[in-house]
């Protein structure tokens, strides 16, 4: 098995604005300038007497990788230091009031349904420029800069307003997940065309199995991702690039309309609206019970459900089937990207410590330990031994090898335009519940994109690939 290398695109999940309207706001503390020191072992001049505060999203990866590994590496490097650890699935709810009050934690793992709006944080000057981190000597080999030890996509996809403000730490694969053992037992093959997909839907229906489901209560962005990647499969990555760049009528491209219509058809004929009322964990348990055949998610899924996986279940990844006979991307094209955002508070109490914490995360010990604890890869080159990988990660690696250059890009408007992405979540559920048509979904999304494009108060971002 070859080493996994991230494909184009970063996942900047964003939800929950950093502040609300009304009332006088406290004056912001000036951002601390972080300059490199002469000591390669302490390149940011960390003061061990200063406490460090770390907030982790305890989702699919849990939080022990931070509490028991990364934070311990920091304590080992700076004996006597105090590290405050907080784990939560409600990043926005917990941190929004603190950010408004200029009390932002030093390091934030910004992820999940309530992730903060990174573009807004960048505009408000809350995010530290990570350029000094990437230019610092690596922990393992001081003759190398940190930037030379990680996949270049970290630098390409972690920019906001042209600055290096976000560290995307993991390599992830998003596609359709299924039970390989069930397929083997039934003699089923993974569908390569939409006709094969619907034929399998008929076979699954006879077995009392729902062909496809996604969680509508929490994580509806799973299906929004799925529709976007299907559109890219049909029309090429330019479809998503145009959406990100707010190109006129991008949401009404033929590829987008075909993708939306295709999944609406699956939902109408083979879906179950009951799943729209379930959250991600409840839906994932249903799949482990072989009540759902295909589930759209990322490669964190296997680790998230590891304690519940029964003996007759083995996660495997399936590419999106060919939707038309003229899809621009061939069967086997798969989404591969870098994600799981980490940021350092520019106006926090210990930005130097925050920067050093990220440097330790990007050490081989920090990265290999993360992979061991979560069964997911990091962006650190050559840090993980592929032996002992669980079935789902092995399957994802093989799928990436088979895809070659046919990598589907992430949609970056997730982090660039919070309002548009949040609206997309809402409209995806409205669409999949049958309350609007595919054309109406595309029209509504286009109108929202047009409104944002016209809004001069919204900082615009662009990408070329």
pLDDT tier, 1 (very low <50, low <70, confident <90, very high otherwise): very low
Which residues are CB-contacts of 456 (< 8 A; sequence separation ≥ 6)? Answer: none
For 454, the 3-state DSSP assignment is helix
Domain CATH number, residue 273: 3.40.190.10
Residues 160 and 260 in one domain: no
The total number of structural domains in the chain stands at 2
Query: 160 lies in a domain?
Result: yes
Question: What is the model's pLDDT at position 35?
Answer: 60
Question: What is the model's pLDDT at position 389?
Answer: 87
Query: 30 lies in a domain?
Result: no
pLDDT tier, 39 (very low <50, low <70, confident <90, very high otherwise): confident
Contact (CB, 8 A) for 80 and 50? no
pLDDT tier, 19 (very low <50, low <70, confident <90, very high otherwise): very low
Question: What is the model's pLDDT at position 248?
Answer: 98
Question: What is the model's pLDDT at position 156?
Answer: 84
How far apart, in Å, are the Cα atoms of 373 and each of 288, 306, 317? 21, 11, 21
Residues 216 and 254 in one domain: yes
Is the pLDDT at 400 greater than 50? The verdict is: yes
Residues 125 and 270 in one domain: no
CA dihedral 384, 389, 395, 397 (to 10 degrees): 10
Query: Which pTM value belongs to this model?
Result: 0.82
Residues 137 and 200 in one domain: no
pLDDT tier, 216 (very low <50, low <70, confident <90, very high otherwise): very high
Residues 285 and 380 in one domain: no
DSSP string, 355-419: HHHHHHHTSHHHHHHHHHHHS-EESBTT-S--TT--HHHHHHHHHHHHHTT-EEPP-THHHH-HH
Dump pLDDT digits (tens) for 62-89: 999 999 999 999 999 999 999 999 999 9
Q: What is the mean pLDDT of residues 298-309?
A: 94
Question: What is the model's pLDDT at position 218?
Answer: 73
Residues 78 and 215 in one domain: no
Residues 316 and 430 in one domain: yes
Is the pLDDT at 385 greater than 90? The verdict is: no
Residues 329 and 343 in one domain: no
Residues 131 and 187 in one domain: no
Of the two residues 420 and 5, the one the predictor is more confident about is 420
Query: 216 lies in a domain?
Result: yes
pLDDT tier, 251 (very low <50, low <70, confident <90, very high otherwise): very high
Average pLDDT, the chain: 90
Question: What is the model's pLDDT at position 29?
Answer: 47
Is the pLDDT at 162 greater than 70? The verdict is: yes
Residues 63 and 155 in one domain: yes
Residues 246 and 387 in one domain: no
Q: What is the mean pLDDT of residues 96-110?
A: 96
Dump pLDDT digits (tens) for 425-437: 999 999 999 999 9
Is the pLDDT at 230 greater than 90? The verdict is: yes
Question: What is the model's pLDDT at position 37?
Answer: 61
Question: What is the model's pLDDT at position 383?
Answer: 86
Query: 7 lies in a domain?
Result: no
Query: 461 lies in a domain?
Result: no
Query: 129 lies in a domain?
Result: yes
Structure tokens at 372: 């061991």
Residues 346 and 437 in one domain: no
Question: What is the model's pLDDT at position 157?
Answer: 86
Q: What is the mean pLDDT of residues 117-138?
A: 95
Structural domain span for residue 268: 174-335+411-454
């Amino acid at each position: 098995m070859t080493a996994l290398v991230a494909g184009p695109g970063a996942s900047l999940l964003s939800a929950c604005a950093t502040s609300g309207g009304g009332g006088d706001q406290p004056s912001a503390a000036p951002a601390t300038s972080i300059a490199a020191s002469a000591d390669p072992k302490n390149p940011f001049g960390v003061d061990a007497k200063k406490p460090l505060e770390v907030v982790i999203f305890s989702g699919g990866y849990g939080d022990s990788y931070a509490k028991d590994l990364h934070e311990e590496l920091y304590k080992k490097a700076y004996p006597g230091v105090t590290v405050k650890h907080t784990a939560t699935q409600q990043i926005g709810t917990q941190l929004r009031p603190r950010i408004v009050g200029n009390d932002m934690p030093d390091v934030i793992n910004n992820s999940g349904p309530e992730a903060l709006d990174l573009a807004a944080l960048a505009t408000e000057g809350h995010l530290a420029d990570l350029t000094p981190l990437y230019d610092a000597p690596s922990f393992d080999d001081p003759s190398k800069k940190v930037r030379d030890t990680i996949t270049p996509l970290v630098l390409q996809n972690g920019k906001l307003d042209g600055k290096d403000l976000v560290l995307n730490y993991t390599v992830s694969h998003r596609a359709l997940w299924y039970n390989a053992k069930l397929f083997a037992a039934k003699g089923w093959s993974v569908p390569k065309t939409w006709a094969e997909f619907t034929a399998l839907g008929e076979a699954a229906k006879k077995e009392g199995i729902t062909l496809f489901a996604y969680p509508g209560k929490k994580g509806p962005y799973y299906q929004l991702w799925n529709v976007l990647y299907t559109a890219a499969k049909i029309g090429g990555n330019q479809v998503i690039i145009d959406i990100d760049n707010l190109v006129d009528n991008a949401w009404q491209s033929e590829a987008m309309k075909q993708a939306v219509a295709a999944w609406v058809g699956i939902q109408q004929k083979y879906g179950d609206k009951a799943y729209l009322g379930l959250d991600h964990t409840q839906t994932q348990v249903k799949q482990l019970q072989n009540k759902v055949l295909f589930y759209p998610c990322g490669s964190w899924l296997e680790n998230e459900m590891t304690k519940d996986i029964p003996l007759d279940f083995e996660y495997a990844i399936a590419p999106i089937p060919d939707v038309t006979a003229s899809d621009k991307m061939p069967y086997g094209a798969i989404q591969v990207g870098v994600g799981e955002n980490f940021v350092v508070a520019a106006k926090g109490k210990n930005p130097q410590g925050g920067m050093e914490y990220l440097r330790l995360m990007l050490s081989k010990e920090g990265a290999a330990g993360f992979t061991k604890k979560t069964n997911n890869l990091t962006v650190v080159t050559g840090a993980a031994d592929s032996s002992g990988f669980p079935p789902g990660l092995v399957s994802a690696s093989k799928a990436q090898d088979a895809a070659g250059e046919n990598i589907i890009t992430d949609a970056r408007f997730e982090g660039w335009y919070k309002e548009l992405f949040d609206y997309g979540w809402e409209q995806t559920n409205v669409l999949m519940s049958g309350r609007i048509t595919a054309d109406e979904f595309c029209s509504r999304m286009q109108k929202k994109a047009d409104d944002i494009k016209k809004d001069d108060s919204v900082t615009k971002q662009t990408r070329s690939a």
